Structure 1
């Protein structure tokens, strides 16, 4: 039997050595994005909790990309309040428990064949809801970062298969262990988001450097 071929790690790919690139057609483009657990309010007042990995920040606005047929998109169209919960790398198993679940019944035809309806997402993932301060949907108590927000603009993407949500953050809750003492800053050496890298879960590696705009200690 031939020995398995081991792909080079990112650290092993030297930035000063050019390589002849190949043209590929990947099925997805999750090239390393943070995982978010999105809590929204269902029509009956219960909470829906959904994992997603298309989110980025622009000032105090978080831009989210959601599946058009999911419960989260349906909820936000009617009730714009939400919580953007960011899990730590060690919580990937809880995230994966949520992955095959949907709050839609019946399950939309666009969902993966292994997807099933689950009304109690928090219970299914062994996560604890925590009351929010400024919005109705609950926070995920175990997540180190929780952003209470309101969807200010919702619209389709160019393909029509997704919904783009622009959410304005109202309040940020942080585990004190990841905050620089005496400041309003997250300590990037103590906080690592859970990263979704081509459908695999990762955390961040060691610090490589810092931006000239950094306001946190640089040692």
Structure 2
């Protein structure tokens, strides 16, 4: 599941006439970096949710084998968007992926797949230590214990890639809601885990992030 429906308001004028996933970094649309990582694990389906500037994204992604989940008339946020897309994704655990970040290092999807243990995990979030989270504004999101179980607050930044079981989505009453609601449910039964990413990561959710990402791509080990 590629999240591509948002308005990209942090990008200011750059998203006035185009969606954030089509903003270019080093000459390539942001969402194409995410797609390249996804292709490497050969998923059965790649679904992108669409809302803002949906036709631009549809035109760009349709030739690339992406299916679509159109959110209309209102945007559904990450949790509601994932729940709507389950008609295309199925009921098995799924990958979700943000389309406004750059990864340098091993494929985070492959690492998550290798570490995934459905016997003890309901969600496995790929997280980046603050020291390797380029362009991150503010503190981290999580702390992990020795087993990898996570709790809120700390120096681990959620990188926007996870494997998650989706059955809990059907228990949530709201139509539009964040995946944080499902994470809270999973945390409460001690099945929320993190995988620490060994490479670097850059947030390209705001204009300054474009230059930071391009610099990182030139020197990925810095």
Same structural fold, with TM-score higher than 0.5 when normalized by the shorter chain: no
Larger Rg: 1
> Which category of TM-score, normalised to the shorter sequence, fits these structures?
under 0.3
Higher strand share: 1
Structure (1/2) with the larger helix percentage: 2
